[in-house]
Amino acid sequence: MNLRVGIIGVSQTKYETNKSYQAITDTVFEVVQEAMADAGVSREDVDSIVTSSVDLWDGRTASNQMLTDVVGAIMKSESRVAGDGLGATFQGMMTILCGASDLTLVVSQCRGSMGDPYGISNWVFDPIFQQPLGLDYLSAAALQANHYMKRFEITQEDCARVVVKNLNDAQNNPQAQVAKETTTDDVMHSPMWAYPIKEMDAAPVSDGACAIVLASQKKAKALSKNPVWILGAGCCVEAHYLGDRDLTEGEALAKASKKAYEMAGIHDPVKELDLAEVSAEFSYQELLWTELMGFCGRGNGIKFLEQGMTSAEGALPVNPSGGMIAGNPVTVAGLTRLVEAVLQVRGKAEARQVQNAKMALAHGTTGCCGQGQYVMIVGN
In the complex, which residues of this chain contact other proteins (CB under 8 A)? Answer: 14, 20-23, 56, 59, 116, 118-119, 122, 127-130, 132-136, 138-139, 142-147, 150, 191-197, 239, 241-244, 247
CB 217 to other proteins: min, Å: 37
Comparing CB distances to other proteins, the nearer of 122 and 257 is 122
CB 331 to other proteins: min, Å: 17
Comparing CB distances to other proteins, the nearer of 120 and 362 is 120
CB 220 to other proteins: min, Å: 31
Comparing CB distances to other proteins, the nearer of 21 and 181 is 21
3-state secondary structure the chain: CCCCEEEEEEEECCCECCCCCCCHHHHHHHHHHHHHHHHCCCHHHCCEEEEECCHHHHCCCCHHHHCCCCCCCCCCEEEEECCCHHHHHHHHHHHHHCCCCCEEEEEEEEEHHHCCHHHHHHCCCCCCCCHHHCCCHHHHHHHHHHHHHHHHCCCHHHHHHHHHHHHHHHHHCCCCCCCCCCCHHHHHCCCEEECCEEHHHECCCCEEEEEEEEEEHHHHHHHCCCCEEEEEEEEEECCCCHHHCCCCCCHHHHHHHHHHHHHHCCCCHHHHCCEEECCCCEHHHHHHHHHHCCCCCCCCHHHHHHCCCCCCCCCCCECCCCHHHHCCCHHHHHHHHHHHHHHHHHCCCHHHCCCCCCEEEEEEEECCCCCEEEEEEEEC
Comparing CB distances to other proteins, the nearer of 22 and 79 is 22
CB 41 to other proteins: min, Å: 26
CB 325 to other proteins: min, Å: 18
CB 201 to other proteins: min, Å: 12
Comparing CB distances to other proteins, the nearer of 29 and 193 is 193
CB 124 to other proteins: min, Å: 11
Comparing CB distances to other proteins, the nearer of 195 and 306 is 195
Comparing CB distances to other proteins, the nearer of 107 and 368 is 368
